Amino acid sequence: MREVLLAKGTGGTVGTCALIALLFAAAVGLLKLREQRYPLSRTDADEEAMYLTSGPALRRLSVGYSSLAADLYWIRAIQYFGATRLRLTKDSSRQAPASPRESAYRLLYPILDVTTTLDPRFNIAYRFGSIFLAEPFPGGAGRPDLAIALLEKGLREQPDKWEYMEDIGFVHYWWRHDYRAAADWFDRASRVPGAPWWLQSVAAVTLAEGGDRRSSRIMWEAIRESADLDWLRHEAERRLAQIQALDDIDVLQQKSDSLAAPGTASTGWDALIGAKVLRGVPLDPSGTPYELETGRVRLSRRSPLFPLPNEPKRVGPPS
Amino acid sequence: MKAVGWIALNVFRESVRDKVLYNLVFFAILLIGASYLIGQLTAGQDVKMIKDLGLAATSVFGLFIAVFIGIGLVSKEVERRSIYSLLAKPIDRRHIVLGKYAGLVLTLAVNLSVMTVALYAVLAYMAWMQGPLAARASETAALDPAMLKAVALIFIELAIVTAIALFFSTFSTPMLSAALTFGLFVAGRFSADLRNFKDVVDSPAAATLANAMYWVLPNLSGFDVRSQVVHGQWVPADYLVLTTAYGCLYISILVIAASLIFSRRDFK
């Protein structure tokens, strides 16, 4: 009798579980059907709403769990930057915004500001955040001023953080082309105890040859060697490959110009290969062929190195 | 004092029977799930985030156990009328309160120990998975023993919250006790603001009242060293000793007050 009751009980449980699974499947099916008929729409307003912009207020609301809240805001910053960058690079025809207010990355700084207020020692939020902000539109917010403001906020919290000073110098150098300010910041960073020895030489080279490709190469090589994050090291390697591509293009352009008859503009590499000036179609450091169109050598749009950076105006004597 | 031990053990057994330790399963799932998801969502800050999440979850889970079991320690016995059989035994009423408190603190200690082991296990796995470059990027080692300082202060903070819940439980209903305990917890986390109240009000009376409240309310913000530990900032030993001593004194005050109220209470 007991066995019968037990068997009945087990059977009942299995039946109930099956019923729950069936109802759950039906609920999922109904949801799918509704989404087919009425697709979910995500408007820009939904994606780009930031209800709480005050870091101190959020710090209080987090009731002591502000580090965890900072982590969540940092994840949001990465998602926001990544999604916006992807959307803008897909739409390559999009022009740079007329004013910073209209920028597609308008929430980036407020999110980073909240993140660093919630956790003032969030090292990566300052360093990556400044890269996201300084990078020109559409790859980034194109706001080197905000990148510097963010790093200076970090310095107020940790005045001996030479990495932030190096990053400020870098923003001045690469995006503002203010080589004197860049050299000052590199110099200041080099004086912090524990800072790497090469910062002093970077400061000197920047002041003497700011804007020169050689100084850019030295800087990116230094960043690659000192990078303690995979992402930063890969970025430095990509930048070095871009500098190599700029050098390659100059050499190829000279070869193309020397072979071209006056008043003609060749397209394609056949003439140069035929004249044995080149052994084959030249490849950029990523392995993508360079293009020659109407006499101009350029990087292919398919190359992962595209677009090449705009070279700043040089200062000092040529190298 | 033997009775205190028996009552404490009984409270611990009861909490196990009430499936309180199930929260450990949720904690483990949360950490394991987060360690996978965070790896996909962040840029090389996995270890820092797991430390933040693990320590915050340890504190929050402990807080819920301290409040929701603490408020029922005495009031539930009264509601179920099981208090009469307990009072009929030759046990001092103060020992009942002390035993109940010790039992819940024991439950919390077991919880926190298992959670800490789980946190270190997840961090050990992440340290093993991440490359040497990612390890160099972290401000502290994945298995930094300094995290134990944060866990120790979380434990003392939870012991204070348990004492608050027990105190209210001796004379109030469970709902009101929960509200008052949570209220005191939040006030305790913001007590530093009361110190600066004189800078924002003109009234000297209000400033004096706020100052008095600052000294009377439990100062819980001092028990939060999670951020310092995660960022590798040094937490001095004398800070730990002073904070722990303050916590122990505050607990003693609350438990003595709870014992006094319980001893004088008429259960007819």
Give the model confidence (pLDDT) of B113-124 as tens digits. 998 998 999 888
Which of B48, B221, B231 minimises the CB distance to A64?
B221
**Does residue A187 contact residue A146 with C-beta atoms inside 8 Å?**
no
Q: Which residues, 6+ apart, have CB-to-CB distance to A28 below 8 Å? A: none
Q: Which residues of chain B have a CB within 8 Å of the CB of A128?
A: 43
Q: Do A79 and B60 touch (CB under 8 A)?
A: no
CA distance A245 to chain B (A): 28
Q: Do A78 and B41 touch (CB under 8 A)?
A: yes
Q: Which residues of chain A have a CB within 8 Å of the CB of B186?
A: 63
d(CA B200, CA A161): 34
Q: Residue A49: what pLDDT?
A: 67
- Output the CA–CA distances (angstroms, integers) from residue B173 to A161, B79, B93, B167, in the order listed: 53, 10, 19, 11
Q: Which residues of chain B have a CB within 8 Å of the CB of A68?
A: 52-53, 56
Of A272, A273, A292, the residue nearest A284 (C-alpha): A292
Q: Which residues of chain A have a CB within 8 Å of the CB of B137?
A: 124, 228-229
Q: Which residues, 6+ apart, have CB-to-CB distance to A232 below 8 Å? A: A127, A223
Output the tens digit of pLDDT for each of chain A's 319 residues: 556 555 666 677 888 889 999 998 999 899 889 888 887 765 554 556 677 778 788 888 888 889 989 998 998 898 888 888 888 776 654 455 544 445 678 889 999 999 999 999 998 899 989 988 998 877 788 899 999 999 999 999 999 999 899 999 989 988 888 888 988 998 899 899 988 877 887 787 777 766 677 777 887 887 787 776 777 788 788 888 988 998 999 899 888 888 777 666 677 888 888 888 888 899 999 999 999 888 889 888 888 888 777 665 554 444 3
Neighbours of B67 (CB within 10 A): 22
* Number of DSSP helices (H) and strands (E) in chain B, helices first: 13, 0
**Which parts of chain B sit beneath pLDDT 50?**
none
Which of B52, B136, B233 minimises the CB distance to A71?
B52
Q: Do A121 and B227 touch (CB under 8 A)?
A: yes
